[in-house]
């Protein structure tokens, strides 16, 4: 079975940094994805980690520790448009299992 945990909500100030943690216990593992989903819209791809370590892409970075079953998504220099849900997803046998998502609210 799959067990993917992430916080339900986080609030941060514009310009700040927020770290969204994700822990997982799955029967198989081919990699970990982060998706962004704005209210009423489809999820869109943010990042992918298959090896341990940090992947940086502009203001967003994602970290993976396979031995600990742990990942985080780091959002830097927060902007109002970053207010969205962030979904952690584990690739298990080429099918993604998603966490419930973390709603990030950015305040001025």
Partner 1 sequence: IAGITQAPTSQILAAGRRMTLRCTQDMRHNAMYWYRQDLGLGLRLIHYSNTAGTTGKGEVPDGYSVSRANTDDFPLTLASAVPSQTSVYFCASSEAGETGELFFGEGSRLTVL
What are the residues binding partner 1 (CB under 8 A)?
A: 2, 8, 30-31, 33, 35, 41-45, 48, 50, 87, 89, 91, 94-101
CB of 95 to partner 1, least distance (A): 6
CB of 58 to partner 1, least distance (A): 17
Q: Specify the residue, 69 or 101, whose C-beta has the smaller distance to partner 1.
A: 101
Structure tokens at 104: 């990030």
Report the distance separating Cα 4 and Cα 107, nearest Å.
Answer: 27
Alpha carbons within 13 angstroms on the beta-carbon side of residue 19 total 7
CB of 15 to partner 1, least distance (A): 29
Q: What's 6-41 look like in SS3?
A: CCCEEEEECCCCEEEEEEEECCCCCEEEEEEECCCC
Q: Specify the residue, 1 or 81, whose C-beta has the smaller distance to partner 1.
A: 1
């Amino acid at each position: 079975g799959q067990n993917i945990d992430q916080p339900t909500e986080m609030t941060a100030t514009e310009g700040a940094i927020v770290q969204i943690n994700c822990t997982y216990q799955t029967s198989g593992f081919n990699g970990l994805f982060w998706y962004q989903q704005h209210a009423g819209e489809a999820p869109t791809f943010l990042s992918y980690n298959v090896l341990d370590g940090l992947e940086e892409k502009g203001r967003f970075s994602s970290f993976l520790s396979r031995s600990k079953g742990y990942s985080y998504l780091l959002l830097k220099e927060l902007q109002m448009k970053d207010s969205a849900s962030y979904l952690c997803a584990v690739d298990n046998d080429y099918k993604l299992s998603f966490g419930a998502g973390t709603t990030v609210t950015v305040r001025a």
